[in-house]
Chain A
Amino acid sequence: MNNLNPARAAEAMLRALGGESVSLLFPVATGTPDLADELGLVAAAVEEVAVAPVVVRALVPDNGHARRELLFAASAIRAQVDARSAATAEALFQSAVGVLHQGRLLRIVSVTPELFAGEAYLYRVLAVE
């Protein structure tokens, strides 16, 4: 079986389940030669990158803080990995400041790939407010 088929099937499934678009926030490299960013003196700029399809599931809140499980299609993440020259999908998520969903900024806690024949077809991301 072509390894791309599970990824396509996952993407189709997410769309069928009403997959929406969320924004991953990435810091913009300042390139500042001084230390202002390391001292917290400058507000870091971020860029929003829309990713779809994504299914967002609400989890039991933790101490009043919202928790969400986001299911990302591997094909969409693969495109971002290539676009941002990330080493891996996990590295891509780790480099993100967070996820913007319905006006809420969620911090990424964990990333778990769902694998078929050694290839990821889905990424399960736990994010908290």
Chain B
Amino acid sequence: MQYAKDTFYLALRERLATINPERTISLNGKTRPAVLVVENELPSAALPLPNAFHLHWGAVRTVQPARRPLMALECVIRYAAAGSGEAVLDRGRTLAALDVELLQMCAPPRAAKLDRSVAPPAALGTMIFWNTPEFTDPEMPLISAGNVGRTARLSIFFFPEVDLA
């Protein structure tokens, strides 16, 4: 399951770096694409960050029982747009841009599952795939007064690395 999480996160990270190289965050002294897994980060008052995609892992369920069943892992992606300037009138447009970037990051809806804990990354022989994100109504405020945010949900489908029966 961790391999599926890592693979999905890194797929989004690499795609965002191509789609919009200027969409970056600076966290713990490192500048990187603006997508992060909240549970992998140091707990800090700095989170959540505006104009960045925050991945939260949700429930896991069996989709198709088998000795090695098809599993589904819910992923909740939260992001909020901080407008520019003092009037922050462009929050809506920034949010729309984030929506489009998320859709672009999620296409194609698959990636080869890799073990990224070793170097070089090891192919695990299966793919992970996911459905199109479902967007919720905009939330104001999501992070702080002045930001407009949204939550997107999708399910990631994968086979576990071990037999369960």
Residues of A within 8 A of B (CB): 27, 29-31, 34-35, 37-41, 44, 93-98, 107-111
Contact = CB atoms under 8 A, between A and B. Distances in A.
Contacts of B84: none
Interface in B39-81: 39-40, 42-46
Given A27-B29, A35-B116, A95 B46 contact: yes
A103 to B, nearest CB: 18
B114 to A, nearest CB: 11
Contacts of A44: 28, 42
Interface of B: 6, 9-10, 13, 28-30, 32, 36-37, 39-40, 42-46, 116-117, 119
Contact of A31 (B9, B29, B46): B29
B46 A41 contact: no
A39 B43 contact: no
A40 B43 contact: no
Contacts of B29: 27, 29-31
A96 B28 CA distance: 9
Instruction: Please indicate which of the listed interface residues B29, B39, B42 has the most CB atoms of chain A within 10 Å of its own CB.
Output: B42
Contact of B6 (A30, A34, A39, A107): A39
A41 B41 CA distance: 11
Given A40-B37, A96-B45, A108-B44, 8 more contacts: A34-B119, A39-B6, A39-B116, A41-B117, A94-B46, A95-B46, A97-B43, A97-B44
A100 to B, nearest CB: 14
Contacts of B30: 29-31, 37
A37 B46 CA distance: 17
A109 B119 contact: no
Instruction: Please indicate which of the listed interface residues B39, B45, B117 has the most CB atoms of chain A within 10 Å of its own CB.
Output: B45
A39 B40 contact: yes
